Amino acid sequence: MILAGDVGGTKVDLALYDFINGKLTVTRGKIYRAKEYAGLEVIVKEFLGSDKVTAACFGVPGPVRDGRLRLTNLPWTLDSRELAAGLVIDHVFLINDLEANGYGIAELSDGQILTLSEGDPTQTGNRALIAAGTGLGQCFLVWNGHYHTPYPSEGGHVDYGPRNEDEIDLLRFLKQKYNGRVSYERVISGMGLTNIYEFLREVRGVDEPAWLAQRIAAVPDPNAVITELALAAKSEICEKALDMFVSAYGAEAGNLALKVLSVGGIYIGGGIAPRIVEKLKDGTFMKAFTDKGRLSQLLINMPVRIILEPHAAQLGAAAYAEAKAAELSGISTRAASVKS
């Protein structure tokens, strides 16, 4: 069996995978509240119990260097060698969470992906992945003539570039709020939707009814309320906030597509996209995505697809663990499962 994990700042999602005729199949899984534990090793030991695994891989937020990472939202330092020794697992790997998501794309079925724009599906070449959730992740999927290899990126932390008067004023608002530099993650993420809502209320003076203020104050995460009311067309300020958010999302997806030259398509991952699919379909995202002046036609020809599967990163981590362990040991669990 293969152990795969998606490690975040608030939760650790673990699952055991096996192979049936070459396809990854979940045996069992569980989600843990990260802040209730001293480290990842403790969680994994509790999860595994007496089960034995041949390899493990964990998708983690941030850049991994020589199998080591210090998490920003948890007081944990992860080291693949220390984990392998402590867990008594021969092969343990740490990879960036968006890199894991990139490996997961190849494991998805047609029903787990929604095509937002067909583009020109005959094109072959690089792909890109952008994922807004708690933060903003980006990944390059480089085509080598045979398959796509994911490469991690911290592109979500580059300087935010406003495109119109509203976004210029949003930048000013956020520079004051954060006392300096503003990255794209401050706009295109969970915190980003809230930031845009506050900007519309405090700078643009869009009315926030008392009932809405009370409802938002009563929940730990205002984004769920903003999204719900925007999609149901029950609040002007929520609709405007989601519209600005989706437009910025499309624009930055287009920026990434230009940088990677992702003629093979761009994928929209993360936890936010599946919840706002209907909004993504209304043209706002694609208008911003393709609004690239002389290079607009290049973007129009790029397929755009939304990842609907919430465990794509975990699937990718499992696929990576099996492939790398097979490379090191010469024994492939996936190959052995294929019926002749």
Structure confidence by residue, pLDDT tens digits, 179-233: 999 999 999 999 999 999 999 999 999 999 999 999 999 998 899 999 999 999 9
Quote the tokens at residue 340: 């002749």
Quote the tokens at residue 225: 């309320």
The closest alpha carbon to 104, from 71, 131, 124, 83, belongs to 131
CATH 3.30.420.40 boundaries in the chain: 2-104+311-337
Supply angle C-alpha 80, 86, 87, rounded to 5. Answer: 85
pLDDT for 313 equals 93
Please state which of the four CATH numbers 3.20.110.10, 3.40.50.150, 1.10.10.10, 3.30.420.40 is assigned to the domain occupying 2-104+311-337. Answer: 3.30.420.40
CATH 3.40.367.20 boundaries in the chain: 109-308
Residue type for position 278: E
For the stretch 149-173, pLDDT in tens is 999 999 999 999 999 999 999 999 9
Q: Rounded distance, CA 167 to CA 208, Å?
A: 20
Q: Rounded distance, CA 255 to CA 266, Å?
A: 11
Q: Rounded distance, CA 249 to CA 136, Å?
A: 10
The terminus-to-terminus CA distance of the chain in angstroms comes to: 21
The secondary structure of 223-282 as a DSSP string is: HHHHHHHHHTT--HHHHHHHHHHHHHHHHHHHHHHHHHT-TT-EEEETTTGGGGHHHHTT
Residues of the chain falling short of pLDDT 50: none
The DSSP output letter for 125 is S
pLDDT for 216 equals 95
Q: Which residues are CB-neighbours of 81 under 8 A, at least 6 positions away?
A: 67, 92
pLDDT for 340 equals 60
Q: Rounded distance, CA 281 to CA 279, Å?
A: 5
pLDDT for 67 equals 94
Would you say 267 and 128 are in contact if contact means Cβ atoms under 8 Å apart? yes
What CATH number labels 109-308?
A: 3.40.367.20
